[in-house]
Structure 1
Amino acid sequence: MSEREKINIENIVASTSLAEHLDLSKIALALEGSEYEPEQFPGLIYRLKEPKTAVLIFRSGKVNCTGAKNLTNVRLTIQTIISTLKKAGIEVYDSPEIVVQNIVAVYDLEADLNLTQIAMSLGLENVEYEPEQFPGLVYRVEEPKVVLLLFGSGKVVCTGAKEESEIEQAVIKVKKELQKVGLI
């Protein structure tokens, strides 16, 4: 099994813009089950059952999509919102550019990790390890620019990636570094 096949994407956060300005009160009526309480939060929240995602829609026309496990579901979510709004007579862009803001993924090194030894061998400028405050080791990778959270169980959480390939690069990099110093 390749490294890519062992990476599980847990969440993709992406953004787009549907218009210059949106009437959220009108949208709240068009999107059944949406939550819009402007005194609590400035955006409208809408959760889709399929794919299981959520969107935040703002008056500025900006939209954030969260919860998708792949880019196909991000695009499907945005297209579903667009078609539902158009059916309700709300003018929105046909195919806006979607920008991935963050991908969170999990990988299993399949080995127990001694985080104290790893903290000492990876170099202090890129590593934070304070077990009294957080059980994982925070490793800031420069290239690709992502953050890896390493846990004693061998599980690694990658955050900050904009593309799936960055996750794979970071996982391969940390694996090589740990093998080089004999810690896996």
Structure 2
Amino acid sequence: SESRAEPETGASNIVSTVNLGCPLDLKFIALQARNAEYNPKVGVYVHKIREPRTTALIFSSGKMVCTGAKSEEQSRLAARKYARVVQKLGFPARFLDFKIQNMVASCDVCFPIRLEGLVLTHQQFSSYEPELFPGLIYRMVKPRIVLLIFVSGKVVLTGNQVQHTHTHAQ
């Protein structure tokens, strides 16, 4: 296989929250809305949309968790679409306190990484126990991001500031 000069990067999942600012009748919403189901055991209404491809967990308190977006903009757009569905069903839903809670991104630096050497030079930030997990766990302090670094050169980044910093973390 040929090696690449440029690392490949990309966000793979964004989790955001928003408060719709009103109590909701989840059973009613699930009966009226498309691609929706109500889970009374958990007290959550699950709704999916295709564009952007996301899933929302909506609670009777009006709190919502949106997952699956590939960018912060997509996550905000999806959350607004879910809020609009609730509004159209007669609830006075607003769009309060939108916040990105977590992001997962990945990249391939296109060269092998010597994990034993990395853990020795960055002991205060990293742990590497190959018999338990094949990747090195690197905990950055500022920004607070956790990287899972693999011998292959593949890196997975998680944290709520990944979108803005995954190029620096490489």
TM-score w.r.t. structure 2 length?
A: 0.89
- Partner of residue 177, structure 1: none
**CA RMSD for the aligned pairs?**
2.0
What 5-or-longer segments of structure 1 have no aligned partner? 172-184
Contact kept in structure 2, 1:139 and 1:150, CA below 8 Å: yes
In 1, Cα distance between equivalents of 2:82 and 2:100: 17
- Deviation beyond 6 Å, 4+ runs, structure 1: none
The answer for the alignment partner of 1:32 in structure 2 is: 34
Post-superposition shift, 1:60? Answer: 1.4
Q: How does 1:121-160 map to 2 (within 5 A)?
A: 121-123=121-123, 125-160=124-159
Separation of aligned partners in 2, 1:167 and 1:22:
37
| Superposition deviation, residue 73 in structure 1 | 1.3
* Contact in 1 for aligned 2:35/2:49 (Cα 8 Å): no
* Per-residue Cα deviation, 1:2-61 (whole angstroms, up to 9, x for no partner): x8x84201011110001232111112123223121222x231111111111001101111
1:9 aligned residue (4, 8, 11)? 11
Kept in 2: contact 1:12–1:69 (CA 8 A) = yes
Aligned to 1:96: 96
Residue in 2 that maps onto 1:79: 80
Q: What letter is aligned with 1:150?
A: I
Distance in 2 between residues matched to 1:161 and 1:80, nearest whole Å: 22
Are 1:106 and 2:86 an aligned pair? Answer: no
Could you tell me how far 1:120 is from its partner in structure 2?
1.5
Structure 2 residue aligned with 1:49:
50
TM-score by length of 1: 0.83
Higher helix share: 1
Q: Secondary structure at the match of 1:98?
A: strand
**Distance in 1 between residues matched to 2:162 and 2:153, nearest whole Å:** 23
CA distance in 1, matches of 2:160, 2:35: 31
Displacement of 1:163: 5.3
Q: Distance in 2 between matches of 1:42 and 1:167?
A: 35
Report the alpha carbon displacement of residue 106 of structure 1 after superposing the two structures with TM: 0.7
Alpha-carbon deviation of 1:69? 0.3
Higher strand share: 2
CA distance in 1, matches of 2:133, 2:117: 16
Unmatched segments (≥5 aa) in structure 2: 1-5
Secondary structure, counterpart of 1:12 in structure 2: strand
Paired residue type of 2:39: E
Q: Which one-letter code corresponds to 2:117 in the other structure? A: Q
| C-alpha contact 1:30 1:85 (8 A) present in aligned 2 | no
Matched residue pairs, number?
Answer: 167
Determine the structure 1 residue equivalent to 2:3. none
Q: Could you tell me which residue of structure 2 aligns to residue 178 of structure 1?
A: none
State the one-letter code of the partner of 2:75: V
